[in-house]
Structure 1
Amino acid sequence: MATPRTTTMRRQGDNAVKDLTIVICSYNYERFLREAIDSALAQAPERTRVIVIDDGSTDGSRAIIASYGERIVPVLKENGGQASAYNLGLELVDTEYITYLDSDDVLYDGAIDQALAAFERGGYAKVQFRLSVIDGDSRPTGAYVPNSTPPADCAALLRRGWLYPSPPASGNVYRASALRRILPLPKPKGRGIAADFFAIYGVALLGPVHAIDTPLGGYRVHRVASESEPGDAPKVGLSIANCQDIDEVIRSFPHRWNALRELVGERLGEQLPEHAIDFAYEKAVLCANAYDAPFSQRCHWLAFESGRYFRSIVSNPFWSAKKKLMAIALTLACVAPSRRMSDHAIRYIANPLARRPLPAGGRQA
């Protein structure tokens, strides 16, 4: 073994110099893993290396990885969480650029070509691209993330506490030298650390960010969003994330922001604000207080507890005036006397899947 936690790493294909490494972080996703690897291998093979880090899977993932032979670089390790996979991936990379692909997501044809072309046009620390939300069968849902485009200078706003619109992990390509100033991440204490949060926001303090609005990958949603009555169509729930529900967002976000502040202070000598401003977090708080709640409770939240929420709308530097007005109108609908109408408005605010077109012959809760 190369280290106590990894197997010996084999070189992928020929020894030609590559420009970018795709690091696939895999844990117990055998159902989706092959599609992720195939999508990575299809990306500019003359310029790209593919490393697959298996974080102690107990399903059939390792057999799938072995089936690719020398087309990929397999790294097998004991389970240590996302942060350990991110740290190890960057340690193994010898290319100028790196992207982390979740093993249940996919890259679309030409994604890496477009990202590399953007890097070559400017001195970016990160290039990001929009992701299409897909279901467990790889069918597009009609939703996309993110829904807004950030400015190139995300750092100025981040220093004021604003988290800029970014796709999840698989939609971000980093300049490796910039990322090495943020990673490796410390061993998580208490609640698990989401490594992509630190990479996405930390690297923005080290150079401009370029955003490609074209969907160049698929972000997979494959868990059941909410329970339905027998015989009914599935209801659209409050969260599109596979690992986080609304309560988890509320619990974890302050912890992650504080950990990012500490990391940035130690590594970059910068002091970020004590509190972050993020609509995703504030809408989670709205949901926790108003979803499926009595009319009196919703009115109390609006009258006494909604200040930070409305600030995240009215002062939002990434939104147009039209979008702000629509968000305010939808929020006011959340306190309609009808709980059914209120819950429908909250779902629309909370979850992009609630805004998708109805399937033929189907209905939306």
Structure 2
Amino acid sequence: MRKHTRRLQGKYGVTAVKDITIVICSYNYERFLREAIDSALAQEPQRTRVVVIDDGSTDSSRAILASYGTRVTPVLKANGGQASSYNLGLEMADTEYILYLDSDDVLYEGAVAQVLDTFERGGYAKVQFTLDVIDGESRSTGVCVPHSQPPAECAGLLRSGWLYPSPPASGNAYRVSALKRVLPLPKTTRRGIAADFFAIYGVALVGQVGVIDTPLGGYRVHRMPEDNAGANTASAAPRPGLSIANSQDVAEVVRAFPQRWDALRELVSERLGEQLPEQAMDFSYEKAHLCMWVYDAPLWRRWHWIVFGSRRYFHSILANPFWTTRKKFAAVSLTLLCLLPLRSVSDHAIRYLANPLARGTQTHRS
């Protein structure tokens, strides 16, 4: 394998330029930061540079970072959000590849070696890998993300409005030259929210996506599904069991997704000169609508939504280009359980559909 040995002088000091930069984006995660840094340092040391960007933490994160001395490149900045950390990380990455690791996630031993091998064999713009879902104590929940894998050529489907299956931020590595066609992100617009969304989907329009269908890291979910919120209307009181991720309940998904898609369309138009459809098709977004209207709802409301409001939802299942026939059948069958009179059966089916973590949580506790 190739090894880079040149050295550069920059405002962040003299650093050996290697193959990949792991940028750890950190904000007030002192509980998990050391585990994230250690997992990055355990990767190929001759090929990997570790940069930790502290985005204005007010806990003990900076003291933890200082304890690593010269083993990592520390960057201490005022709080500016995820977009500012992504932009700065890309600016500092004088390597061929970059991986953004959230400071509450971890990489497994050998992850970088497999990622680099995939890049060098396939010439991809992005390489993604499966992540185990772990809890706050680093225990496996028995669930992996994503639940299905995309083809290498995702651009055509994305241009028709289908969001391809991707792991969260920490499960994606990028070719720097490809990512620079999409980033940096503007710092003063709504695009500053969920910067990984723009990197993940924008870069797929630049080149092919390599897939490693093996867990190479852990995606940490601090709150298990029963601790998060969902409701049958946007204004109703929160209900347990419908969390999408650490900070996203179903109402947030319904609100944020169209804004992110619109911002991605603007970004792609500006940077790549391409026009994406006005609306995107994504099962996660459509199932959030299902939860909003059907969960904990009376029988008449469930029937009304299924009959009159579910067209896009069922389209996101039946026309899904990434799912097998078996998975489509299972999703439709679970959904139709909502038509049964027993609300407990309906709600159980919704929880199962809404967040696969609920399945892993039951396994983990048994």
Q: Please say if residues 224 and 357 of structure 2, whose CA atoms lie closer than 8 Å, have aligned partners that are also in contact.
A: no
Match of 2:254 in 1: 250
Aligned counterparts of 1:287 and 1:10: Cα–Cα separation in 2? 51
Q: Distance in 1 between matches of 2:166 and 2:240?
A: 23
1:105-254 equivalences under 5 Å are 105-190=105-190, 192-227=192-227, 237-254=241-258
Q: 1:227: Cα distance to partner?
A: 4.7
Q: Is the 8 A contact 1:236 1:353 kept in 2?
A: no
- Is residue 276 of structure 1 aligned with residue 268 of structure 2? no
Cα shift readout 1:11-59 (whole Å, capped 9, x = no counterpart): 5xxx443000000000000000000000000010110000000000000
Instruction: Please tell me whether residue 91 in structure 1 is matched to residue 95 in structure 2.
Output: no
- Residue 350 (str. 1) matches residue 334 (str. 2): no
Cross-structure match for 2:329: 325
Name the structure 2 match of 1:73: 73
Q: Aligned AA for 1:127?
A: V
Match of 1:263 among 263, 267, 271: 267
Local SS of the residue matching 1:356? helix
1:123 is displaced (CA, Å) by 1.3
How far the C-alpha of 1:358 sits from its partner, in A, is 3.6
Compared CA separation, residues 224 and 313, structure 1 to 2 (3 A) = closer
Partner of 1:232: none
Residues 31 and 249 from structure 1, CA distance in 2 versus in 1: closer, same or farther, beyond 3 angstroms? same
Matched ranges for 1:336-347 at <5 A: 336-347=340-351
**C-alpha distance in structure 2 between counterparts of 1:248 and 1:188, whole Å:** 21
The 3-state SS of whatever aligns with 1:164 is coil
The residue number in structure 1 matching 2:12 is 9
Q: CA offset at residue 190 of structure 1?
A: 5.0
Mapped partners of 1:120, 1:187: distance in 2: 33
Q: Which AA in structure 2 matches 1:201? A: Y
Percent sequence identity is 71
Give the C-alpha shift of residue 336 in structure 1.
1.7
- Asked if residue 26 in structure 1 is aligned to residue 29 in structure 2, the reply is no
Structure 1 68/185 Cα, relative in aligned 2: closer, same or farther at 3 Å? same
Give the distance between the partners of 2:185 and 2:192, measured in 1 at CA: 12
TM-aligned CA distance change 1:105 to 1:236, over 3 Å: farther
TM-score by length of 2: 0.91
My pick for the range that moved more, 326-335 or 253-262, is: 326-335
* Shift in Å, 1:335: 2.3
* C-alpha contact (below 8 Å) 1:159/1:272 kept by paired residues: yes
Partner of 1:5: none
Q: Look up the equivalent residue of 1:218 and give its one-letter code.
A: G
Alpha-carbon contact 1:221-1:240 (below 8 Å) kept: no
Do the aligned partners of 1:10 and 1:70 also contact (CA within 8 Å) in 2? no
Instruction: Give the C-alpha shift of residue 356 in structure 1.
Output: 2.2
| Aligned-partner SS, 2:201 | helix
Give the whole-Å Cα distance in 2 for the aligned partners of 1:338 and 1:252: 32
Aligned-partner Cα distance in 2 for 1:23–1:34: 14
Aligned position for 1:57: 57
> Is 2:49–2:72's contact at 8 Å kept on the other side of the alignment?
yes
Partner amino acid for 1:37?
Answer: I
Distance 1:146 1:250 in 2: 20
> How far apart, in 2, do the equivalents of 1:357 and 1:75 lie?
36
Q: Structure 2 vs 1, CA of residues 25 and 348 (structure 1 numbering), >3 Å: closer, same or farther? A: same
SS in 1 for 2:21: strand
Offset at residue 125 of structure 1 (A): 0.2
Measure the CA separation in 1 of the matches of 2:57 and 2:223: 19
Structure 2 partner of 1:103? 103
The amino acid across from 1:305 in the alignment is G
More deviation in 347-356 or 193-202? 347-356
**Residue type at the aligned position of 1:302:** I
Deviations 1:278-323 (A, max 9, x none): 0010011100111111111111110111000000000000001111
Deviations 1:130-151 (A, max 9, x none): 0000000000000110000100
The alpha carbon displacement at 1:359 in A equals 4.7
Aligned equivalents of 2:273, 2:261: Cα separation in 1 = 16
Given that 1:98 and 1:176 are in contact with CA atoms closer than 8 Å, whether structure 2 keeps it comes out as yes
CA RMSD, aligned part only? 1.6
Which whole-Å CA distance do the structure 1 matches of 2:59 and 2:289 have between them? 36
Task: Measure, in 1, the Cα distance between the counterparts of 2:191 and 2:270.
Answer: 20
The 1:359/1:311 distance shift into structure 2, 3 A limit, reads closer
> Does structure 1 conserve the Cα–Cα contact (< 8 Å) formed by 2:224 and 2:361?
no
Deviations 1:154-203 (A, max 9, x none): 00100000000000000000000000011010124358521000000000
2:226, 2:240 within 8 Å by CA — same for their partners in 1?
yes
Q: Secondary structure at the match of 1:214?
A: strand
Q: Aligned to 2:303, what secondary structure does the other structure show?
A: helix
Q: Write the mapping of 1:271-310 to structure 2, written as runs, cut at 5 A.
A: 271-310=275-314
